[in-house]
Amino acid sequence: MRSWLVMMIITTSVSAQETVVAGAGRFGVDRGLGLVLVSMTGEEVQQQWPGLKDAVQAGERFAFTQPLAMVTTGTRYDAQSPDGDPVAVYFTDLPLFHITTSHEIVDEPKVPAVLGMWSPLAGAEEFHIGVEIRGGWSQNYPKKSYAIEFVAGEGSETTMDVSLLSMRSDDDWNLQALYKEPFRANNLVGQQLWMDIHRPYYEQMAPASMSGVRMEYAELFVNGAYRGLYGVGEPLDRKQLQLAEHPHVLRGELFKGTSWGATTFSSWPPPFRPGDELWGGFEHVYPRGNPGWQALSDFVHLVMFGSDADFADRVGAEFHVGNAVDYYLFMNLLKAEDNTGKNIYVARFDLGEPYFYVPWDLDGTFGMAWDGSPSPETNTVLSNGLYTRWLRDLPPGGFAHQVCTRWSALREGPITQAGIMQRFQQVHDRLHAAGVYEREELAWPEYAYDADHMDYLANWLEDRIAFLDAHFAALCSTVGMAEAVADVPLHLYPNPATGAVTVGAPAHLLPALLLVSNAMGQVVMETVLTDVRSRLDVGMLASGPYQFTVLKEGMPPLHGRLLVE
pLDDT at 521 over 80: no
For residue range 362-386, list pLDDT tens digits in order.
999 999 999 999 999 999 999 999 9
HSE at residue 409, side-chain half, CA atoms within 13 A, is 12
Rounded to 5°, the CA angle 359-363-366 comes to 95
pLDDT at 1 over 70: no
For residue range 468-520, list pLDDT tens digits in order.
999 888 888 767 654 444 444 677 778 778 888 888 888 778 888 888 888 77
For residue range 239-261, list pLDDT tens digits in order.
999 998 776 665 799 999 999 99
Are 310 and 392 members of one domain? yes
- Asked if residue 437 belongs to a domain, the reply is yes
pLDDT at site 257: 96
pLDDT at site 274: 87
- Asked if residue 326 belongs to a domain, the reply is yes
Of 299 and 524, which is predicted with more confidence?
Answer: 299
- Asked if residue 288 belongs to a domain, the reply is no
Q: Which of 478, 495, 520 is the last residue of a domain?
A: 478
Are 304 and 400 members of one domain? yes
- Asked if residue 275 belongs to a domain, the reply is no
3-state secondary structure of 33: coil
Are 409 and 537 members of one domain? no
Task: Give the residue-averaged pLDDT of 148-169.
Answer: 94
Are 383 and 467 members of one domain? yes
Are 443 and 511 members of one domain? no
* Gyration radius of the chain over CA positions: 29
Are 433 and 525 members of one domain? no
In angstroms, how far is CA 192 from the centroid of its own chain? 10
Are 137 and 150 members of one domain? yes
Residue 366 one-letter amino acid: F
| Residue 161: partners with Cβ closer than 8 Å, 6 or more residues away | 150, 169, 170, 171
Indicate the number of domains in the chain.
4
Instruction: Give buried/exposed letters for 495-527 (b at 16+ CB in 10 A, else e).
Output: eebeeebebebeeebeebebbbbbbbbeeebee
Are 400 and 333 members of one domain? yes
pLDDT at 85 over 70: yes
For residue range 33-82, list pLDDT tens digits in order.
999 999 999 999 999 999 999 999 999 999 999 999 999 999 999 999 99
- Asked if residue 286 belongs to a domain, the reply is no
Q: Which of 93, 111, 133 is the last residue of a domain?
A: 93
Task: Give the residue-averaged pLDDT of 352-364.
Answer: 95
- Asked if residue 507 belongs to a domain, the reply is yes
For residue range 192-219, list pLDDT tens digits in order.
999 999 999 999 999 999 999 999 999 9
In angstroms, how far is CA 14 from the centroid of its own chain? 53
pLDDT at site 507: 76
Q: Which of 321-325, 352-356, 491-495 has the lowest mean pLDDT?
A: 491-495
Of 479 and 118, which is predicted with more confidence?
Answer: 118
pLDDT at site 250: 58
Mean pLDDT, the chain, as a whole number?
90
Phi-psi region at 156: left, alpha or beta (left = phi > 0; alpha = psi -120 to 50): beta
Give the integer Cα–Cα distance in Å for 283 and 276.
9
Please provide residue 407's backbone torsions phi and psi, each rounded to the nearest 5 degrees.
-60, -45
3-state secondary structure 372-435: CCECCCCCCCCCCHHHHHHCCCCCCCCHHHHHHHHHHHHCCCCCCHHHHHHHHHHHHHHHHHCC
Question: How much of the chain, in percent, has pLDDT values that exceed 70?
Answer: 94
Distances (CA, A) of 358 to 208, 237, 347, 348, 351: 16, 10, 8, 10, 18
- Asked if residue 317 belongs to a domain, the reply is yes
Give the integer Cα–Cα distance in Å for 256 and 262.
12
Considering the entire predicted model, what is its pTM?
0.84
Q: Which of 93, 124, 152 is the last residue of a domain?
A: 93
pLDDT at site 480: 62
pLDDT at site 40: 96
CB of 225 within 8 A of CB of 32? yes
pLDDT at site 123: 93
Are 394 and 536 members of one domain? no
Q: Which of 14-28, 118-132, 198-212, 550-564 has the lowest mean pLDDT?
A: 550-564
For residue range 409-468, list pLDDT tens digits in order.
999 999 999 999 999 999 999 999 999 999 999 999 999 999 999 999 999 999 999 999
Are 473 and 416 members of one domain? yes
Rounded to 5°, the CA angle 305-260-268 comes to 30
Are 218 and 330 members of one domain? no
| Domain containing residue 112 | 97-177+207-230
Are 392 and 354 members of one domain? yes
- Asked if residue 454 belongs to a domain, the reply is yes
pLDDT at site 488: 46
**Residue 408 banded pLDDT, cuts 50, 70, 90:** very high
Looking at residue 523, which CATH number applies to its domain? 2.60.40.10
pLDDT at 9 over 70: no
